[in-house]
Structure 1
Amino acid sequence: MKKIKDERLIVQNLKNIRVAFIIQTLGILSLLVYDGLQNGILHAYENPLWFIFILTAVVLGYLNLKISVDVYDNKRENLVPYYIIPLGSFLLGGVFTLIVTAGPDGNLQSGLLVGSVVGLVFFLTFTYGHYLVKKRNEE
């Protein structure tokens, strides 16, 4: 297969991939909704398609993060000092730990698990965003 060199064909190919991705995502979502209506919402969460749907959304979010950083026109943005990111993620994780622990079915173990996951996801996302903005400012 030859490599496409014409930019118009490259753009058209990307548009075709986008349409196929949208159709695939709508198909997965409709199967999950159908499964949830037939067997209950908890059964839909146990379906492996749910994991694929969530994983696809997370990957798409991280890929769009790089694009959203490049959209800004300001050449020199004031970056938040990096030490704020771990501090904020620790505080956010602590808040979620308290919320889950204080809930009706909450215990300390589940609270720590939810707080750790939320804090880690917050930390990784904002660290990556900080890195992209810093790299763009250096160029």
Structure 2
Amino acid sequence: MKKIKDERLIAQNLQNTRIAYIVQTIGIFGILGYEFFKNGMEGMTKNPLWLVFMLTAIVYNYLNMSVSVENEKRPKKPVKSFIISFVVVTIIAVAFGVLTSITPNFNWSDGLLIGGTIFVSGIIPISYIYRLRIKQQKDMEEDE
């Protein structure tokens, strides 16, 4: 198979891939919606399509992060934005952990588990964006 070199064909190929992704996502939403109404939230999350949908959404959002960092109008200070984001995620995780632990039928280990999960889930994208901004800053310094 030959590699496509014409930019118009490359753009058309990307557009076709985008349309296929949209159709696939709508199909997954339809199946998961049916599962939700038939078996509730637990039945929907047990479906293997739930895992496919979540992985696809995560990969798509990470790919969009790199585009959004490169498309920032003014380069942001990576360390400052990392510290601010870190503090916000920590506050949110602690709040959820405390609120979970004081909820009836839950204990401190449940609060720790939920707070820890939220913290880790928040710190991974923050670290990724920090790395992207550091890389962008180094590339700009090399270009000057």
CA deviation vs aligned residue, 1:89-121 (integer Å, no higher than 9, x gap)? 444322221121122332222211111111012
Q: In 2 relative to 1, CA 81–21 (structure 1 residues): closer, same or farther, beyond 3 Å?
A: closer
Inter-partner Cα distance in structure 2 for 1:14 and 1:138: 30
Asked whether 1:45 is paired with 2:45, we answer yes
Q: How many residues align?
A: 138
Letter aligned with residue 66 of structure 2: K
Residue aligning to 1:78: 77
- Residue pair 2:82, 2:126 contacting (<8 A) in 1 also: no
Q: Which structure carries more helix by proportion? A: 2
Given that 2:86 and 2:123 are in contact with CA atoms closer than 8 Å, whether structure 1 keeps it comes out as yes
TM-score, normalised with respect to structure 2: 0.85
The CA deviation at 1:84 is: 5.1
Per-residue CA shift, 1:2-54, capped at 9, x if unaligned? 11111111111011001001110110110010111122232112111111111
Please list every run of 5 or more consecutive structure 2 residues that lacks an aligned counterpart in the other structure.
Answer: 140-144
Instruction: Report the secondary structure of 2:105's partner residue.
Output: coil
Task: Judge conservation of contact 2:28–2:53 (CA < 8 Å) in 1.
Answer: yes
For 1:32, the aligned partner's letter is L
> Percent identity of the aligned residues?
36
| TM superposition outliers: structure 1 runs of 4+ over 6 Å | none
Give me the TM-score of the superposition, normalised by structure 1: 0.88
Change (3 A) 1:92 1:40: closer
- Aligned-residue CA RMSD in angstroms? 1.8
- Partner of 1:67 in structure 2? 67
Could you tell me which residue of structure 1 aligns to residue 33 of structure 2?
33
